[in-house]
Structure 1
């Protein structure tokens, strides 16, 4: 019996669980990958990957073998895990997590673990219990790179909300308002329409602000976060993103907003200003649009991500931006795009070392930006690679147009 028939619905009453057909397809792909890569079994324990494969992120471990055995062992909450997995229609068995000795003896095969996606002490305990040192982190990450039609739909729904977030910024912006006051208006929209409160990331320290609005010289302040734009943040413990800088006339205001719909990221950046920007800033934005177009064309043509980085960087150097692209030395970031999905920092990345193309169905946020001591300027949109090239998923106006308060 389903204990939660009406408790986990979206704002208009729709069922926001991952469809069972989607879970079944993902698990089938996992089984095929295990067979191809010669893994007897895997144990999925990272919360994001648990959600991806089973539809739930309860405290659980998902065992899947090359012969199709699929079991979700749940510590808590079992009843929620059953419901979120699809109830009686779940494509996997949902059972209570047994005692440790029983758990290890119940598994037909010794599974690989996600050593690159779980804490060391946690992984070491299971490694000793199960007698395994095999790692399946990369295998899982690769499977998630190609998005299904349903996942793309989730990102398109996220884009609709994100567009409303940008509208809220435009409607609220005025002289003297702080960055934090502006970002609060965008976050209010996001929260009211279903954002869960956390932007998921793979890379330690697993911390990112969902909304970054930086005005004038605050756009030139670096931070610990590996991105073009840092920002002061409100205080040293939260030392990135928006702070108490006030909006001033004719200064660039960079607005980088993320929304997650049912877990799926949409990422975009738009430029704003009170009273417009100088022709010099406008020219820089147009040049960033040219670099974005070049990156999009390269990825859509199946060129490797590393070669695409070289294409974009060389174009920036031709315009004289080598020392300001994606940061100011020594705090420059060395990428022009990052894959997104259930996490903000998925693979591949438009950067050195990623010597393969964005796969068909891969989704990427492409974000050329320039950083100066007196401000930052650039654009960002989320794209998906299709058979016909790159399709833009983010929808909030023209990225190369400055929106005026």
Structure 2
């Protein structure tokens, strides 16, 4: 009686399954398959925001077991075996009946279960040895197929249009951060933003993004990024604060995501309430550095590039410019990375940081976010989402990176 809004192509699903199997065999060779629990990973592997568990064995068909919503999963997913279950104790017999029995050693998406449920799983499957399978999932999701890239390219185009075309005409000095957040929200919704941004790391949340006027961009932050903000309230440290006004002669930093058909892009746009000539000298120098870092790293976003080396390049450029203090955040807000993978979640793998030495591959998508904080003034810098190609990083979120001046 119902038609799915979108059904994951079977070829796309099978390619994802094979990628995870290959990476699982490389990272945890003792495991005979992977148990997946998080909604995000279930969506990636089935095409449905399923409520349940997926068993993906190395050598037989995957089995999706739903606590609720089996009928919806059947509409949206090409997976042939979709069943229902009530208890973790049902998993082994149901998978065995489906012809895909659990292996003696199973990889598990450990980040997909809280401690209490993980203990329950172990107690219900006493004959199974569990090992971590999260790395295989993260690495598989880092590579985007043409089907995924088409969504991200469209997402990036709309993200850029929202921040560089629609929003500048709707905001003005004298508005509060909250008012600006409302205009940003309206512009994004007009462009099809799905309304929900997702984070992959445990406990991380995000709503709209960061709206920070002036020195709010250096306000102490709990979010793992360089831009600070007061946020709506201590209980929701995102979007904008109703008590902070974007003043004439002040900076406004908007760092947010745009989501379309499940996929996200990340972008930062800085605005200045005045003419370009009125920009503080350190703001001009800092922003120029950030644009230069983005260009230098983007040119090197080619297959085989090493993330840790790209991060080291950025640090050396900041040091050579005499701007290490404030690069990637001030004080406790400073972060030790330059960018991150992005796709279904804002915070994907890999990270451009020390210790990430696996080479990049064509089809990966990364957000580069060189930023520079200035005490008492705010934050300048850029962030854009790029696709790794043999010719270097292809920007998905526009080609204009300078500060937008309203004077």
TM-score under structure 1 normalisation?
0.90
Shift of 1:121: 1.4
CA offsets 1:227-272 (integer angstroms, 9 cap, x no match): 1101111222223442132122221111222111111111111121
In 2: Cα distance, 1:276 partner to 1:329 partner: 29
Whether the 8 Å contact between 1:158 and 1:261 is mirrored in structure 2 is: yes
Matched position secondary structure for 1:348: strand
Whether the 8 Å contact between 1:194 and 1:262 is mirrored in structure 2 is: no
Whether the 8 Å contact between 1:306 and 1:354 is mirrored in structure 2 is: yes
User: Number of residue pairs matched?
Assistant: 390
Whether the 8 Å contact between 2:227 and 2:255 is mirrored in structure 1 is: no
Greater CA drift, 270-279 or 27-36: 27-36
Report the equivalent of 2:58: 66
In 1: Cα distance, 2:187 partner to 2:63 partner: 38
Q: Does 1:154 align with 2:146?
A: no
Shift of 1:391: 1.0
Inter-CA distance 47–318: structure 2 relative to 1 (3 Å threshold): same
Report the equivalent of 1:13: none
CA offsets 1:181-205 (integer angstroms, 9 cap, x no match): 1121222233345434332112232
Whether the 8 Å contact between 2:272 and 2:403 is mirrored in structure 1 is: no
Report the equivalent of 2:92: 104
Shift of 1:22: 1.4
Matches within 5 A, 1:163-242: 163-166=160-163, 167-242=165-240
Report the equivalent of 1:31: 21
Whether the 8 Å contact between 1:187 and 1:211 is mirrored in structure 2 is: no
Specify every segment of 5 or more residues in structure 2 that has no aligned partner in the other structure, as ranges.
96-100
Aligned-pair Cα RMSD in Å: 2.0
Whether the 8 Å contact between 1:276 and 1:402 is mirrored in structure 2 is: no
Whether the 8 Å contact between 2:51 and 2:68 is mirrored in structure 1 is: yes
Q: Does 1:134 align with 2:131?
A: yes
In 2: Cα distance, 1:229 partner to 1:34 partner: 35
Shift of 1:43: 1.3
In 2: Cα distance, 1:98 partner to 1:177 partner: 52
Whether the 8 Å contact between 1:299 and 1:357 is mirrored in structure 2 is: no
In 2: Cα distance, 1:52 partner to 1:289 partner: 33
Matched position secondary structure for 1:134: strand
Report the equivalent of 2:34: 42
CA offsets 1:16-55 (integer angstroms, 9 cap, x no match): 3433321122123233444555331211111100000000
CA offsets 1:268-296 (integer angstroms, 9 cap, x no match): 11121222342612332122111111222
Report the equivalent of 2:252: 253
Greater CA drift, 218-227 or 292-301: 292-301
Matched position secondary structure for 1:126: helix
Shift of 1:109: 2.2
Matches within 5 A, 1:1-400: 3-5=1-3, 9=5, 16-36=6-26, 37-38=28-29, 39-85=31-77, 90-97=78-85, 100-107=88-95, 108-110=101-103, 111-130=106-125, 131-166=128-163, 167-244=165-242, 245-277=244-276, 278=279, 280=281, 281-300=283-302, 302-373=304-375, 374-395=377-398, 397-400=399-402
Whether the 8 Å contact between 1:117 and 1:202 is mirrored in structure 2 is: no
Report the equivalent of 1:12: none
Report the equivalent of 2:98: none
Shift of 1:93: 1.1
Inter-CA distance 134–173: structure 2 relative to 1 (3 Å threshold): same
